[in-house]
Structures are given as structure tokens and as C-alpha cells.
Structure 1
Amino acid sequence: MLVNIELENAEDFVFIKQLLEKIKGVKSVCVKEEEEFYEDGTPKWFIDKLADYADSLEEKDMISKKDFFKFIDEEICRLNSQK
């Protein structure tokens, strides 16, 4: 089981860490730096990775809007025919 705890008061961390380490079966207690989020709740690291991926795309990786919707229509037909 993995448990995340968010503390508003960082000074409580020492106490919480000691308490958790005393529990039988606890394998590790680690601290992650506080993540930054956009107003909509999206983590900034995710947007950074997405931007890196977008920058790596080339013309050969793209399909046209027409081909995209054709593919979607074919998939809808395929899924509906399975019923």
C-alpha cells in the first residue's frame, strides 16, 4: 500500500516521519519536493514533458484532420459491429 500525506506545517514532518518509521512493515518514508501546479490542477512537470514531446514530433509523425476523423469513424463502426 502506498500512502501520501500532505502537511501544511513542515515542522510536523519530523514527528510524522518518526511515527511512521515505528509502524511494523513500513519500508520507507521519503519526501518529495512540493510540486507546482497550474490553476486547473495540472502539474507543471506534466506540461513540460508534453512540450518536450511536442517539440520532438516531425511532419512524418502527423496525420491530417481528415485522416484523423476517417480513422475515428472506422473505429466507431468497428466497435459498433462487435455488439
Structure 2
Amino acid sequence: MNLTIEIENKEDYPFIKELLERLEGVKIIQNEYDTIEGLPAYVFEQVEKYGESLKDEDVISKENFFKLIDEEICKLNSQK
């Protein structure tokens, strides 16, 4: 069984770790990076960096996006 514990106060970590290590069969796997919604913060930083590098000609409008989605749905439905 896996259990994830998120500790907001880093000063509590040694205490929590010591308590858990007293339990038989418990392994502590520490996340060495900050996370946002379960993903490493650097992932969001890289996505933001990529987003800033995009130009207008690199993106499509919302209407064109949904048009492409509709076309793909039609293709998938016709294969049934």
C-alpha cells in the first residue's frame, strides 16, 4: 500500500519521519522537489516558459480548435 503525506510545515518532517519509521515495514520516500498539484514545480515553470515563447502564428483560435475536434469525432464515429 502506498500513502502520500503532504507536510506544509517543513519543521515537522523530522518528527513525522521518526514516528513512521517506528512502524514495521514502512519505507520513507522523500520528495526532494516542490510540487504543485502533485507535479514538480519545474514542470509548470517549463510550460510557462514555453507559453511565453509562442507567437500568434503558433496558436489557433478557439473556434478552429473545436472545429478540429468535431472533425476528429466524425472520423472516429465513421470507423465504427
TM-score range, shorter chain: 0.5 to 0.7
User: TM-score if structure 2 supplies the norm length?
Assistant: 0.59
Query: In the alignment, what sits opposite 1:77?
Result: 74
Higher strand share: 2
How well do the aligned residues superpose, as a CA RMSD in angstroms? 2.1
SS of residue paired to 1:71: helix
Q: Which amino acid counterpart does residue 34 of structure 2 have in structure 1? A: E
Structure 2: 5+ residue stretches without partners: 1-16, 19-30
Q: Distance in 2 between matches of 1:36 and 1:53?
A: 20
Structure 1: 5+ residue stretches without partners: 1-7, 10-32
Q: Distance in 2 between matches of 1:37 and 1:68?
A: 30
Number of residue pairs the alignment of both structures matches? 54
Q: Which amino acid counterpart does residue 70 of structure 1 have in structure 2? A: K
Report the identity percentage.
Answer: 46
Q: Distance in 2 between matches of 1:82 and 1:35?
A: 45
Q: Which amino acid counterpart does residue 55 of structure 1 have in structure 2? A: E
Structure 1 moving runs of 4+ over 4 Å? none
Q: Please state if 1:52 is matched with 2:49.
A: yes
